[in-house]
Structure 1
Amino acid sequence: MSHNLPEIDPTVPSIARVYDAFLGGKDHYEVDRQVLQEILKIAPEAQQIGKECRAWLIRVVRFMAANAGIDQFLDVGSGLPTAENTHQAVQRINPEAVVVYVDNDPMVAAHGRALLEENDRTHFVVGDLREPAELLADPVVTRYLDWTRPIGLIQSNTVHHIADDLNPDDVMAEYVKALPAGSYVAISHLHNPDDGSPQAQLALESEEKYMAMMGTCHFRTRDQIAAYFNGLEMVEPGLAYLFEWWPDGPRIQSPTNGDYLLLGGVGRKP
Structure 2
Amino acid sequence: MPRFESPEFMKRAGDAYNPIAPDIKTEKASIARVYSYYLGGKDHFEADREMANYAESVVPGVTDLALGNRAFVQRATRYLASERGVGQFLDIGSGLPTDGNVHEIAHESMPEAHVVYVDNDPIVLAHARALLADNHTTLVIRKDLTRPEEVLAEAERTGLIDLSRPLALMLGGILHHLGDEQDPDGIARQLRDALAPGSCLVISHFCEPDPAQLPEDSERARRLQAAFLERLKTGMWRSPEQIRSYFGDWRLVEPGLVTLNRWRPLPPDAKSIGTYTMPPRNENLIVGGIAVKP
1:225-244 to 2 correspondences below 5 Å = 225-244=243-262
Paired letter, 1:125: I
Normalising by structure 2, we get a TM-score of 0.87
SS at match of 1:143: coil
Q: Quick check: 1:100–1:141 contact (8 Å CA) kept in 2?
A: no
Q: What is the Cα deviation at residue 18 of structure 1?
A: 0.3
Distance 1:217 1:139, change over 3 A: closer
Where do 5+ consecutive residues of structure 2 fail to align?
1-20, 269-274
Distance 1:34 1:68, change over 3 A: same
Paired letter, 2:136: D
1:142-221 to 2 correspondences below 5 Å = 143-195=159-211, 197-221=215-239
Q: What is the Cα deviation at residue 45 of structure 1?
A: 1.8
1:222-261 to 2 correspondences below 5 Å = 222-249=240-267, 255-261=279-285
Q: Quick check: 1:6–1:105 contact (8 Å CA) kept in 2?
A: no
Q: Quick check: 1:136–1:142 contact (8 Å CA) kept in 2?
A: no
Q: What is the Cα deviation at residue 254 of structure 1?
A: 8.2
Structure 1: how far apart are the matches of 2:64 and 2:156? 34
Which residue among 8, 21, 46 is the counterpart of 2:24?
A: 8
Paired letter, 2:285: L
Paired letter, 2:230: A
Structure 1: how far apart are the matches of 2:53 and 2:242? 29
Q: Quick check: 2:88–2:168 contact (8 Å CA) kept in 1?
A: yes
Q: Percent identity?
A: 39
Structure 2: how far apart are the matches of 1:256 and 1:59? 20
Structure 2: how far apart are the matches of 1:162 and 1:49? 17
Alpha-carbon RMSD across the aligned residues, in angstroms, is 1.9
SS at match of 1:129: coil
Q: What is the Cα deviation at residue 36 of structure 1?
A: 1.3
1:265 corresponds to: 289
Structure 2: how far apart are the matches of 1:140 and 1:68? 22
Q: 4+ runs of 1 displaced by more than 3 Å?
A: 139-142, 250-255
1:23 corresponds to: 39
Distance 1:70 1:32, change over 3 A: same
Distance 1:37 1:254, change over 3 A: closer
Structure 2: how far apart are the matches of 1:140 and 1:79? 20
Q: Quick check: 1:125–1:140 contact (8 Å CA) kept in 2?
A: no
Q: Quick check: 2:261–2:277 contact (8 Å CA) kept in 1?
A: no
Q: Please list the CA deviations of residues 110-160 of structure 1 after superposition, one character each: whole Å capped at 9, or x if unmatched.
A: 012112214100011100011111111116556211222110000000001
Where do 5+ consecutive residues of structure 1 fail to align?
none
Paired letter, 1:96: E
Is 1:78 equivalent to 2:102 in the alignment? no
2:135 corresponds to: 119
Structure 2: how far apart are the matches of 1:139 and 1:61? 19
Number of aligned pairs? 267
